[in-house]
Amino acid sequence: MKLDSNDSAHMAFFNKQNTNFGSVMYYTDNYYPTFDSDGDGIPDYDDSFPSNPSETTDYDGDGQGDNSDNDDDNDGITDLLDECQFGIIGPGADFDGDGCKDSEDEDDDNDGFMDEVDDCPMGMTSVGSDFDSDGCQDPEDPDMDGDGVANENDDFDLDPTEDTDSDGDGVGDNTDEFPNDASESLDFDGDGVGDNADQFPSDANESVDSDGDGVGDNADAFDEDANETIDSDGDGVGDNADQFPYDANESSDFDGDGIGDNADGDFDGDNISDNDDAFPLDPNEWNDTDGDTVGDNSDAFPSDANESSDLDGDGVGDNADEFPNDANESSDLDGDGVGDNADEFPNDANESADL
């Protein structure tokens, strides 16, 4: 009879014949005895080995006590290696060979993922590389990055955020701002022009510099002129060339007198009014007496419209001088190539000398 919380125990020890241990007999308040023949603290009625103090249970019922039995559940896996030492009795399916039958094993392939969350509960055994942590090791996982796209159809089988590369530039379509242009993938300034083509990749207002002056075409008032970028007065003349960059009425000062040419009455600064100056852009000339377009100061023959120069200084204008580079000759009456002064027969083309 078992003792319960309402009983008080009285114990007596006595020696049993031919034994070397004491037998314990328990008494309840009603003095009904309960024996523990081998004195191991387990009453005989609960002790599978009542006469063996070193054994009390025989899990697999093979007649050998669990303490001495090296395979308590008789499954063929020794207790030292058996993760389910007291599992289902006898041999049975054990996928990972850990001693726990598959029906009782919470991790059938011993990969560290419980079967209930393991996409491959009977996959490769032991722990291995598992990129998406789904319980299927990478060599056996049909979708290594777990993005729902099979490896064979996934251009990025180890990137769960990408699966397609339409233009084949190595950048996935989700990240690629130009998924159909293999030469572009980024648009840092968001202007719609890829960074590779954008001459101003950090400026959303500019992308092209046609004249290569470092100023984008949108801001450059002279996008085809590398020498100019600004026209402050809007007169069509760039500030670099404009001598009056803030005066839309003026852009040049020919004579450098500080008065713009449009307002300056003496354009060339020769103190002759432009209205009276035959050469308003030449400070060295203002008259052309003979009207041959050569100013009187330069004209060797200011009163002869047919002549303006005398290279040999013989007083005969170059146009009339048959020998403009010979100061000793100016005419050849007989046309024999010998000047009249040297020609002893100036009227005879066949003769020029009488030795």
Instruction: Output the tens digit of pLDDT for each of the chain's 355 residues.
Output: 454 555 444 444 444 444 444 555 555 555 556 799 999 999 999 999 999 999 999 888 999 989 999 988 888 888 898 778 887 777 878 787 787 887 788 877 888 888 787 788 777 767 788 898 888 888 889 999 999 999 999 999 999 999 999 999 999 999 999 999 999 999 999 999 999 999 999 999 999 999 999 999 999 999 999 999 999 999 999 999 999 999 999 999 999 999 999 999 999 999 999 999 999 999 999 999 999 999 999 999 999 999 999 999 999 999 999 999 999 999 999 999 999 999 999 999 999 898 8
* Range(s) of the domain holding residue 31: 1-56
Model pTM above 0.75: no
Q: Which of 273, 279, 274 is nearest to 294 (CA)?
A: 279
Q: Tell me which of 56, 74, 89 is where a domain ends.
A: 56
Strand ranges inside the chain, DSSP E: 10-15, 22-27, 33-36
Question: Is 236 inside a domain boundary?
Answer: no
Domain count, the chain: 2
Q: Is residue 204 part of a domain?
A: yes
CA distance linking residue 250 with residue 138, whole number of Å: 78
Task: Supply φ then ψ for residue 12, to 5 degrees.
Answer: -135, 135
Cβ-contact 81, 99 below 8 angstroms: yes
Does a structural domain hold residue 63? Answer: no
Within a domain: 326: no
- Dist CA 183 CA 83 (whole Å): 58
Tokens 């560290």, residue located = 112
Length reported for the chain = 355
In the listed set 32, 56, 80, which residue is the last one of a domain according to the structure? 56
Q: Are 22 and 9 in contact (CB under 8 A)?
A: no
